[in-house]
Amino acid sequence: MDRRRFEYLDAMGVPVWVPRSSPGASVPASQGSEQCLVPAASEDGRTAGGGLGWAELQGRVVGCMGCELHRSRTQTVFGTGSRDADWMVIGEAPGADEDRQGEPFVGRAGQLLNAMLRGIGLSREDVYIANILKCRPPRNRDPRPEEVAACEAYLHRQVELVRPRVILAVGRIAAHNLLKTDTALGRMRGRRYTYSDTEIPVVVTYHPAYLLRNPADKRKAWQDLKFAQRMLVPG
């Protein structure tokens, strides 16, 4: 492990566990040869992020080796935007542009997302944007179950910290993993769901990358945005 990263995490009070064979590594005796930088998740997948503040959580993500994606990433993609936003937008996983820049939705799909938000009077800075995965899957393949499980605690803690009034799940992968379902995305549109054990409403819509390939469905995405907007109106 890079010594500067080790020192950065150590200074933040983030536990760093590395193999005994790593040069210069100091490994707590109680951890043996544990190779993951985060504690093993509990059955509900939330132990790794539970109770952490923003700085500690981001540090934990930066050093995460909880799945094989850490081997191929350029950098982790934590999240961006207002940390007390009413809206939280959750996508699938970083792409090539996001992997290079360390920020979600920065490519063509990100430009379209920005335009969609402007259409309902919001800027990118008004919402909080995150992904199911914090690292890019090779060749932009679909996330694997073990990769989603490794990141689940981080995302859950982000939701806890932001406390949004509505979550917009963009794309099939985000919708299925947030809501623990395999229902076709088209059948999920126009319905109010709730996230996990919270009362936070979730609205499902198409991923901007899909809309770039299928512009005829932009009208449907606009309907979804207006539906989500109505979630914020009392009564």
Q: What is the pTM of this model?
A: 0.80
Residue 154 · residue 77 · CB < 8 Å: no
200-221 mean pLDDT: 97
Residue 204 DSSP SS3: strand
Domain spans in the chain, listed from the N-terminal domain onward: 76-230
CA–CA gap between residue 213 and residue 20 (Å, rounded): 49
Q: Is the pLDDT of residue 16 over 50?
A: no
pLDDT computed for residue 27 by the predictor? 30
**Least confident residue range of 40-54, 158-172, 191-205:** 40-54
Running DSSP on this structure, what letter comes out for residue 90? E
CA–CA gap between residue 188 and residue 199 (Å, rounded): 18
50-63 mean pLDDT: 93
The rounded percent of the chain whose pLDDT value lies above 70 is 78
Q: Output Rg (C-alpha) for the chain, integer angstroms.
A: 18
Q: Taking Cα atoms as reference points, which of 81, 102, 77 lies closest to residue 92?
A: 77
> pLDDT band for position 234 (50/70/90)?
confident
Per residue in 69-125, pLDDT (tens digit) is: 999 999 999 999 999 999 999 999 999 999 999 999 999 999 999 999 999 999 999
> Which residue did the predictor score with more confidence, 18 or 159?
159
CATH number of this structure's domain 76-230: 3.40.470.10
34-58 mean pLDDT: 59
pLDDT computed for residue 199 by the predictor? 93
Q: Per residue in 53-75, is it b (16+ CB within 10 Å) or e — as a string?
A: eeebbbbbbbbbbbbebbeebeb
